[in-house]
């Protein structure tokens, strides 16, 4: 737990989160400012500032984020319509919370363009 990290606080239950999925490695909760009808944040319980701070030993945990994403997409019934997974890395890419997380976005048409 990193004391000044808002996602660590959500994961620890110190501030509320609308959880949609939890297991021993990752949690998922609804984004407080959704930009799509389904907007879920998937984060490892372990704190990493960003992708820039991971290495090969983290691959099982980080791979598990994708398994969680697949399960959550099924749970949210967006698997067939499609969903977008986004990991912003660094302030210049729009990262605002420095606890690594994956956005799962779905429920509205998305253009082919990423930005």
Question: Which residue numbers are catalytic?
Answer: 101
Reported residue count of the chain is 115
Is 2 a binding residue for Zn ion by CB under 5 A? The answer is yes
- Closer CB to Zn ion, residue 43 or residue 78? 43
84, 105 Cβ separation under 8 angstroms: yes
- Closer CB to ligand 5GP, residue 78 or residue 105? 105
Q: Which does 5 bind (CB under 5 to 8 A by kind): ligand 5GP, Zn ion, none?
A: Zn ion
- Count residues near ligand 5GP (CB under 6 A): 13
Q: Which does 8 bind (CB under 5 to 8 A by kind): ligand 5GP, Zn ion, none?
A: Zn ion
81, 73 Cβ separation under 8 angstroms: no
22, 41 Cβ separation under 8 angstroms: no
Count the neighbouring beta carbons within 10 Å of the beta carbon of residue 94.
10
Beta bridge partners of 47: none
Quick one: which of 39, 45, 46, 47 contacts Zn ion (CB under 5 A)? 47
User: x/- binding map, residues 50-79, to ligand 5GP, per CB under 6 A?
Assistant: ------------------------------
Count the neighbouring beta carbons within 10 Å of the beta carbon of residue 26.
23
3-state secondary structure of 101: coil
Binding positions for ligand 5GP, rule: CB under 6 A: 6, 17, 29-33, 41, 88, 94-97
């Amino acid at each position: 737990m990193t004391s000044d990290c808002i996602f660590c606080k959500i994961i620890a239950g110190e501030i509320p989160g609308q959880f949609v999925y939890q297991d021993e490695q990752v949690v998922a909760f609804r984004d407080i400012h959704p930009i799509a009808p389904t907007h879920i944040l998937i984060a490892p319980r372990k704190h990493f500032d960003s992708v820039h701070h991971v290495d090969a030993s983290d691959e099982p945990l980080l791979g598990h984020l994708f398994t969680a994403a697949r399960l959550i997409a099924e749970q949210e019934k967006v698997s067939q319509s499609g969903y977008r997974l986004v990991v912003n890395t660094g302030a210049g890419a729009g990262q605002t919370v420095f606890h690594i997380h994956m956005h799962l976005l779905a429920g509205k048409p998305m253009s082919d363009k990423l930005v």
